[in-house]
């Protein structure tokens, strides 16, 4: 791809020689031009303006298509980077949630019995079957949210 752009660049810029152009008149009165001054005659250096490079319509169209393609590639790359950043953020939030759920699960294992608070603000302890059910329901929630690890 870089080689292609380099070739296009070379075709579009006018190539001018670094050597000067010299003008002199010989003994017969004829005017001559050359890239080296003559040894026997007086000469003067002439400034030559290079003709502007002409760009055909096909080259312009190819350049336009290439520019559009590169712009599209850049947009797709940026969209992919944004999606990856969003997915990474979501994974970090998920990891943090799982950390908290596992800590809560560990705490639930250390609690001997659970209770509910009734309308009068009193504790009403649940029986052993309900204790087991609460723990199992929470384990299932952790597995569903975080997987088996």
pLDDT, position 24: 84
Nearest C-alpha neighbor of 27 from the set 42, 13, 12: 42
CA 67 to chain centroid, in Å, comes to 16
pLDDT at 11 over 70: no
**pLDDT tens, residue by residue, 111-132:** 888 999 999 999 999 999 999 9
Residue 46 has pLDDT above 60, yes or no: yes
Q: Which of 133, 88, 73 is nearest to 108 (CA)?
A: 133
């Amino acid at each position: 791809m870089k080689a292609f752009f380099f070739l296009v660049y070379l075709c579009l810029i006018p190539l001018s020689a670094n050597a000067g152009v010299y003008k002199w008149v010989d003994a017969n009165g004829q005017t001559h031009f050359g890239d080296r001054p003559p040894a026997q005659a007086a000469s003067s250096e002439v400034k030559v303006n290079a003709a502007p490079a002409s760009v055909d319509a096909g080259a312009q169209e190819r350049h336009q298509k290439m520019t559009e393609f590169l712009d599209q590639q850049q947009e797709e790359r940026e969209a992919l980077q944004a999606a990856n950043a969003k997915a990474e953020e979501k994974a970090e939030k998920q990891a943090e949630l799982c950390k908290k759920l596992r800590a809560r699960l560990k705490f639930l294992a250390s609690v001997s019995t659970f209770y509910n608070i009734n309308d009068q603000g009193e504790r009403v302890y649940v029986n052993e079957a309900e204790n087991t059910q609460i723990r199992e329901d929470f384990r299932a929630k952790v597995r569903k949210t975080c997987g088996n690890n």
